[in-house]
Amino acid sequence: MTVKQALKLILSGTIAFAATLLLHGVAQAASITDPAGDFLFTYTGVQAGDLDVLSSEVTLNGTQLFFSATLAAAVGTTPSAFYVFGLDRGQGTQRFVTGTPSVGAGVVFDSVVILRPDGTGNFNDLLNSANSITLNPASISISGSQISAIFDVSLFPSTGFAAVDYTWNLWPRLGSISGNAAISDFAPDASNASVAVPEPSGIAGLLAIGFGGLMMVGRTRRILNVSKS
Ligand SMILES: [Ca+2]
Ligand SMILES: [Ca+2]
């Protein structure tokens, strides 16, 4: 094989690899979507848009865990509505199925992150109350129909999973109703979602791949030159 043929082979392989990444996406999908108006039939409260999840995400970015929910109406529309992210850190169970009424089959959690329209929040560790804390309001933000927050993942210690393997579900609920009838919606429905982990994406990722390819070309050229000498 000539040097030219070797370089051509490596470059074509690099381009094919980059194209594959582009086709399949280099980053895990960041958010889940949820239907509009899919109130649980067990929910007995007002069917207002701020109790209806449209999309949500939980993303692990380094040591930071980012939570976000987009509702069908402005956060704060309904007094006493609030938002609960159930987290499965390794020992999650279906905690709502034995309640009244039974809801949440497929939704597993061992702790909850609660975000409120007044900008306050709590973490409740359902397996070890010593870990339960009031969350810093400065880390919670509300903008129209979106409520989001970012916290150090160390606030939510593992019960078996690596943080990257945590799963979650989001449900709005009404503080003025007791029991599971207060839960208006699950997002996603009947299952947990994976924590998203951003990877080098788009141009940055392709640049990194291209740089890697160039390094390989240079190295091969040197090896071939040595073997020829
Ligand atoms: Ca919904
Ligand atoms: Ca839903």
- Per-residue pLDDT of 103-114, as tens digits, reads 999 999 999 999
Give the pLDDT confidence score for residue 30 in this predicted structure.
Answer: 80
Q: How confident is the model at residue 183 (pLDDT cuts 50, 70, 90)?
A: very high
Q: Record the pTM.
A: 0.78
Is residue 100 pLDDT above 80, yes or no? yes
- Domains, the chain: 32-194 (2.60.40)
Q: How far is the CA of 183 from the centre of ligand 1 (A)?
A: 12
pLDDT-derived band at 199 (thresholds 50, 70, 90) equals confident
**Cα 9 to middle of ligand 2, angstroms:** 49
Instruction: Report how far ligand 2's centroid is from the alpha carbon of 38 (Å).
Output: 6
Ligand 1 center to residue 35 CA distance, Å?
5
For residue 103, what are its two tokens? 């809801």
Looking at all shown ligands, the one closest to residue 188's CA atom is 2
Amino acid at residue number 127: L
Residues 121-130 pLDDT 10s: 999 999 999 9
- Rounded to whole angstroms, the Cα distance separating 110 from 113 reads 11
Residues with CB under 5 A from ligand 2 (ion): 34, 38, 185, 187, 189
Average pLDDT, the chain: 85
Average pLDDT value for residue range 198-227: 53
Q: Ligand 2 center to residue 222 CA distance, Å?
A: 58
For residue 221, is pLDDT > 70? no
Residue with tokens 């990194």: 208
Q: Is the pLDDT of residue 162 over 80?
A: yes
Instruction: Tell which residue, 43, 41, 45, 39, has the closest CA to residue 80.
Output: 45
Structure tokens at 166: 């945590």
- If you measure from the C-alpha of residue 199 to the centroid of ligand 1, how many angstroms do you get, rounded to a whole number? 28
23 pLDDT exceeds 70? no
* Å from CA of 56 to ligand 2 middle: 11
Percent of the chain with pLDDT over 90: 72
